[in-house]
Amino acid sequence: TLKYTKDHEWVKLDAPEATVGITNFAQSQLGDVVFVELPEVGRQVKQGEMFGTIESVKAVSELFAPISGTVTAVNAALGVHPEQINATPHEAWMIRIKPSAPAEADALLDADAYSALVK
């Protein structure tokens, strides 16, 4: 039920919202996550636009919106415990978006295509 970006974000479409996080591959490449900067609720994002940053002991990386829409929720727990991303990347969601163009998800990668990308 997940779709993936080439920038290693995942999105789960559960109408009327979509939940967004980073993949296990991304967190393993980053190493220990120490800080996450996420947008304000209500912010409009466009597909492919940067919505935040993630900082690890190795680097700071940008986070990109997999689909366009309005940010409806932010996982505030990551501000206190960013290490949750390393422990459970597919459960440690970052933001929820109310999609403005749900069909954009059709352009994202399915699990097989994403697996091929990261091999």
Reported as a single tens digit per residue, the pLDDT across 21-78 is 999 999 999 999 999 999 999 999 999 999 999 999 999 999 999 999 999 999 999 9
Helix (H, G, I), strand (E, B) or coil at 117: helix
pLDDT higher than 90, residue 15 = no
Cα distance between residue 11 and residue 96, in whole Å: 9
Confidence at residue 1, expressed as pLDDT on a 0 to 100 scale = 80
Q: What pTM was computed for the model?
A: 0.94
Cα distance between residue 88 and residue 33, in whole Å: 12
Q: What is the mean pLDDT of the chain?
A: 96
Distances (CA, A) of 74 to 10, 18, 20, 30, 110: 15, 12, 10, 21, 24
